[in-house]
Amino acid sequence: MKGDIMTTQNRLADGPLVVAVDSSTQSTKAIIVDAAGNVWATAKRPIPMLTPAMDFYEHDPRLWWKTTHDTITEVLASLDQRDRDRVAAIGLTHQRESFAPFKEDGTPLANGILWLDGRAVDQIAEYGNSHIHQLSGKPAGVTPAIYKMAWVKENRPEVFEKADRVVDVLGYISFNLTGHWLSSTGAADSLGLFDIVARTWSSELLEIAGLTQEQMPQLVPPATKMCKIRPELREEWKLSSDIPVIAGVGDGQAAGIGAAAVDPGVGYLNMGTAVNAGIESEQYIYNPAFRTHVSGIPGNYVMEVLQSSGSYLADWVRKTFGDPENPGNTDVALDDLAASKIAPGAEGLLTLPYWNAVQSPYWDAMARGAVIGWRGTHGRAHLYRSVMESICLEMRRNLDFLESASGVPITELRIMGGGTRSPLWRQMMADTVGVPLTVCIADEVTALGAAVLAMAGIGAHSSGTAKGMPDVAASAKAMATFGETVEPNMDNHDVYRKVGAIQAKIYPVLQELFHELDGVVRHTEGEE
């Protein structure tokens, strides 16, 4: 399946071009970008998700490279030779926390295990603690690879015993591009095997995972040159020079870079299937409420909150409680009714949006969703609004943790993701968080972030910072593009602050019941 080639009318006639690749959970995208951030072409290939058992989510890792190769080939084919000669680098970003085992020649030994895979509940309980969080920057939960690696160690030990390399998605793609086992500190740290302050592999964490230093890729800082592409790829793609692959970061950090959320007080907010937000920090800050990553800006960190139920949950309500008179209808009227007929607070209907467990700030894999406050006057639109409000209320509470830890008030959020297309959700989020939301225009903000790092890596906008490091912030500001800014209604914000204070009390009351229920469900499933 081929992706669509997309072009813009504002191309720069001269200067460097870069190819940027974003290999995500559902697909791989490649774009060609100039130094002003204009996207010249886009290609996309799907990656089927494999579910061999309940809570198992996997990829065929060969597709990480095949889809990368095919999308790069397609976008380069859209260029004439003059413009192809301007291509100066390839930038990479990827789905965080996913990994696979390989032989030295790149042959995979098993499917890749993905970030959302939930098989390692017992390993999370056994190994997860505040010390591991503080050392790695990653709270114990479903996403960090270390716990799923421990599952492999304990349940399929032969896999790691035979593996010459165990790497993240970016590491496998860079191997196929360059012939060397390399990854970025801003990508590999998401595995949860990192001493995040030292920015290198931790022997303590590797032991938990059942791996050795020799099985890990060599690490390169973000926005620096990893290696040149293999000669046969240069020839195949008709490139005039041995262009470098520039070290990237995980997709969350890349989205922040693509949104130019690089100054104090400016954060990014991805309103996608999941919802996450983050801010830059010059210091490493550990806090149980959020996770910390290596930033694309040299020396910096990204403090990030994560909520697994975003637009997924709104879609679930529409599909599950859709209009019975119009089965399969998108039920656009539901948005209008929730927006125009129901006031903030959904007339006392409160939701705990933990359909997919909870990440920030509790990191509880056994948490579940709940709706309280039902009255006979409530209907589908009340539930829909309450669910969407709950996602926003959780975000405001999580932003409070970021502000408290950093000591810097958040004054603006740059937003991206499919949820930005909903006027209701955009305004509701602005009203709830109480700060302006500026919409990023780029369709592929994450891939744009990889392009920014590639441009910074070749010094396209600056020769470097005072410390001699790539000036990622300068490239980000030169390449980001924005649309409208949604201003918050502060009267509604005051209402949401009061509603949020009540909603925040639901989880502590139900936490013990969730754990009891999980035990019953797992016991019943085991009997079956």
Query: What's the DSSP call for residue 105?
Result: T
Residues 221 and 248: beta-carbon distance below 8 Å: no
State the Cα–Cα distance between residues 451 and 31, nearest whole angstrom. 8
Q: Mean pLDDT over residues 178-203, rounded?
A: 96
Residue 2's pLDDT is 46
| 75-79: long-range contacts, CB 8 A cutoff, minimum separation 24 | 75/5, 75/19, 75/30, 75/31, 75/32, 75/40, 75/41, 75/42, 75/43, 76/19, 76/32, 76/237, 76/238, 76/239, 78/5, 78/7, 78/32, 78/40, 78/41, 79/17, 79/32, 79/40, 79/41
* Furthest C-alpha separation in the chain: 70
Which H or E run includes 293? strand 291-294
End-to-end CA distance of the chain: 39
State the Cα–Cα distance between residues 291 and 136, nearest whole angstrom. 9
Q: Examine the pLDDT at 43 and tell me if it is beyond 70.
A: yes
In three-state form (DSSP H/G/I as H, E/B as E, the rest C), the secondary structure along 351-417 is EECCECEECCCCCECCCCCEEECCCCCCCHHHHHHHHHHHHHHHHHHHHHHHHHHHCCCCCEEEEEC
Q: What is the pLDDT of residues 481-501, one digit of tens each?
A: 999 999 999 999 999 999 999
Q: Is residue 139 reached through a cis peptide bond, with omega within 30 degrees of 0 on the bond before it?
A: no
Coil, helix or strand at residue 485: strand
Q: Examine the pLDDT at 66 and tell me if it is beyond 60.
A: yes
**CB-neighbour burial class of residue 407 (10 A; exposed 0-12, middle 13-18, buried 19+):** exposed
Residue 471, C-beta contacts closer than 8 angstroms, at least 6 positions apart: 456, 459, 461, 462, 463, 464, 465
The angle subtended at Cα 129 by Cα 525 and Cα 184, nearest 5°, is: 100
Token digits of residue 480? 């980001």
Q: Examine the pLDDT at 222 and tell me if it is beyond 60.
A: yes
Residue 63's pLDDT is 98
Q: Examine the pLDDT at 3 and tell me if it is beyond 60.
A: no
Q: What is the pLDDT of residues 17-30, one digit of tens each?
A: 999 999 999 999 99
Q: What is the pLDDT of residues 375-408, one digit of tens each?
A: 999 999 999 999 999 999 999 999 999 999 999 9
Q: Could you tell me whether strands 244-250 and 275-281 are parallel, antiparallel, or unpaired per DSSP bridges?
A: unpaired
Mean of the per-residue pLDDT values of the chain: 93
Q: Which residue has the tokens 């919409």?
A: 439
Q: Examine the pLDDT at 205 and tell me if it is beyond 60.
A: yes
Q: How confident is residue 291, by pLDDT bands cut at 50, 70 and 90? A: very high
Q: Which residue has the tokens 């990508």?
A: 187
Concatenated DSSP letters for 197-264?
TTTEE-HHHHHHHT--GGGSPEEE-TTSEEEEPPHHHHHHTT-SS-PEEEEEEEHHHHHHHHTT--ST
Q: Mean pLDDT over residues 440-461, rounded?
A: 95
Q: What is the pLDDT of residues 158-169, one digit of tens each?
A: 999 999 999 999
Q: Mean pLDDT over residues 212-228, rounded?
A: 97
Q: Which segment of 77-86, 115-124, 320-329, 369-378 scores lowest on mean pLDDT? A: 320-329
State the Cα–Cα distance between residues 99 and 163, nearest whole angstrom. 12
Q: Mean pLDDT over residues 260-286, rounded?
A: 95
Strands lying side by side in the sheet with 99-102: 58-59, 112-113, 99-102, 165-168
Q: Which segment of 81-85, 315-319, 398-402, 403-407 scores lowest on mean pLDDT? A: 315-319
DSSP-H helix ranges across 107-209: 121-127, 130-136, 145-155, 157-162, 169-178, 185-188, 203-209
Q: Mean pLDDT over residues 39-57, rounded?
A: 95
Q: Which segment of 10-24, 264-278, 317-331, 419-433 scores lowest on mean pLDDT? A: 317-331
Residue 141's pLDDT is 87
Which H or E run includes 61? none
Residue 325's pLDDT is 65
State the Cα–Cα distance between residues 229 and 317, nearest whole angstrom. 47
Amino acid letter, residue 498: K
Residue 340's pLDDT is 83
Q: How confident is residue 341, by pLDDT bands cut at 50, 70 and 90? A: confident
Helices and strands (DSSP H and E) totals, the chain: 19, 23
Residue 7's pLDDT is 46
C-alpha dist (Å) from residue 459 to 30, 279, 453 = 21, 24, 10
Residue 326's pLDDT is 61
Q: Which residue has the tokens 């579910």?
A: 51
Sign of CA dihedral 19, 24, 29, 35: negative
Residue 525's pLDDT is 59
Which H or E run includes 434? none
- Dihedral in degrees, nearest 10, Cα atoms 450, 405, 368, 344: -90
For residue 345, what are the β-bridge partners? none
Of the candidates 316, 333, 339, which has an alpha carbon nearest to the alpha carbon of residue 389?
339
Token digits of residue 76? 């380069």
Residues 449 and 257: beta-carbon distance below 8 Å: yes
**CB-neighbour burial class of residue 118 (10 A; exposed 0-12, middle 13-18, buried 19+):** middle
Q: Which segment of 106-110, 304-308, 473-477 scores lowest on mean pLDDT? A: 304-308
Alpha-carbon 503 to chain mean position: 26
State the Cα–Cα distance between residues 245 and 19, nearest whole angstrom. 10
Residue 526's pLDDT is 56
Angle between helices 62-77 and 169-178 (to 10 degrees): 60
